[in-house]
Amino acid sequence: MKMKKLLTLAMTSILSIALLVGCGEKKGVSTDGSTSMEKVIGTLGEAFQSESGITFTYNPTGSGSGIKAVQEGRCDIGLSSRNLKPEEESSGLEGTVLAYDGIAVIVNPKNKVSDLKTEQISKIFSGEVTNWKDVGGEDGEIVLIGREAGSGTRDGFESITKTKDKAKYRQELTSTGDVITTVSQNPNAIGYASVSSLKDNVKDLTINGVKATDENIKNKSYVVQRPFLLVTKKGEKLSDSAQKFFDYITSDKAVDAIKKAGAVPAK
C-alpha cells in the first residue's frame, strides 16, 4: 500500500513537471502576413536570430491572413502592409509602424510611358482608359495586373488611387513577385508592387512627376505609399522571445537593416 502511495506521488510529480514545462516560455518567435514585407522582415529576422540565438520564422500569407493569425493566436506578431481596419482595431488588435513603403506603379521596360498622374492611374485601373495611346504610349490595349482580394498591397494601392471595388484586372495574383514577373513578360501590362521588391525586369513610373525614393516616401511627396505594420493584441503580453524581437526591430539598431531592405524606417 505504501509502495502504491509512493508511486502515485511520483507520477503526480512527473505530471506536474511536464505541465510546467509545457506551459514554459517558448524559445522561438513566429511572424505571419504581408508578402511585401518579406525582404524587410527577413533581413531583420536573420540579424536578430544571429545576435540572440532565438529562432525566427516568417510565414508569407498576405496581410489579411497575418492579421487573422494574430487574432486566432497562431503567431506572435502579424505583418500588415496596410493600416488596420476599424473592425480589426475594435476586435482588440493594434498596429505599430515599423517602416514606410512606396507602392510602385510598374510597366514593361519596352513601354514608352514614364510618368502618370494620379487621376490617370485611377482611370486606367477603373477601366475608363483602356489604351496606352490615351496616356502618351503606343497604340495597345492596357492589361491590368493586380493582387488578390485581401492583399495589403492591393488594399493600399486601391485606397490611395480611389479604385477600390472598381479595378478591372486581367489577372489577380497571390504575390508581389508574381505581379512583377507577369508585367515583365507583357509589353502592354501595368501593375503595382512594393518598391522594396522591384527588379530590373520592370520599369517603375514617376507619379505626378515624383519618383519613389526614400526621401520622397518619407516626406510624402510620393503619394502612392503605405505603412509596414507589426500587429499584436492590445494589452496582451508577448512571450519573452517575441518581445525581444519586437524591441530589437523597432530600435535604432534596426534602422540600417530596414534601409538595406529597401524600406523607409519609421524612426
pLDDT at 3: 45
Report the C-alpha gap between 22 and 37 in whole angstroms.
32
Please tell me what DSSP assigns to residue 141: B
Please give the angle made by the CA atoms of 215, 216 and 218, to the nearest 5 degrees.
65
**CA atoms in the 13 A half-sphere facing the CB of 193:** 32
Q: What is the mean pLDDT of each run of 10 residues along the chain (267 residues)?
A: 42 37 61 93 96 97 96 97 95 96 95 98 97 98 95 89 94 95 98 90 98 89 94 97 98 94 88
Do 70 and 232 contact (CB within 8 A), yes or no?
A: yes
| Domain 101-225 falls under CATH 3.40.190.10 | yes
The pLDDT, as a whole number, for residue 26 is: 55
Where in the sequence of the chain do the CATH 3.40.190.10 domains occur?
Answer: 30-100+226-265, 101-225
C-alpha closest to that of 193 among 220, 154, 141 = 154
Contact between 96 and 49 (Cβ < 8 Å): no
For residues 160 and 223, what is the distance between their CA atoms, to the nearest angstrom?
A: 8
Domain 30-100+226-265 maps to which CATH number in 3.20.20.370, 3.90.230.10, 3.40.190.10, 3.40.50.10360? 3.40.190.10
Q: What is the 3-state secondary structure (H, E, C) of 150-191?
A: CCHHHHHHHHHHCCCCCCCCCEEECCHHHHHHHHHCCCCEEE
Exposed/middle/buried for residue 252 (C-beta within 10 Å: 0-12, 13-18, 19+): exposed
Residue 188: the pLDDT is 98
Give the span between the Cα atoms of 262 and 178, in whole angstroms: 19
**Per-residue pLDDT tens over the stretch 181-236:** 999 999 999 999 988 889 899 999 999 999 998 889 988 899 999 899 999 999 99
pTM (2 d.p.): 0.70
Handedness of CA 132, 134, 136, 138 (dihedral sign): positive
Q: What is the per-residue pLDDT for 219? A: 84
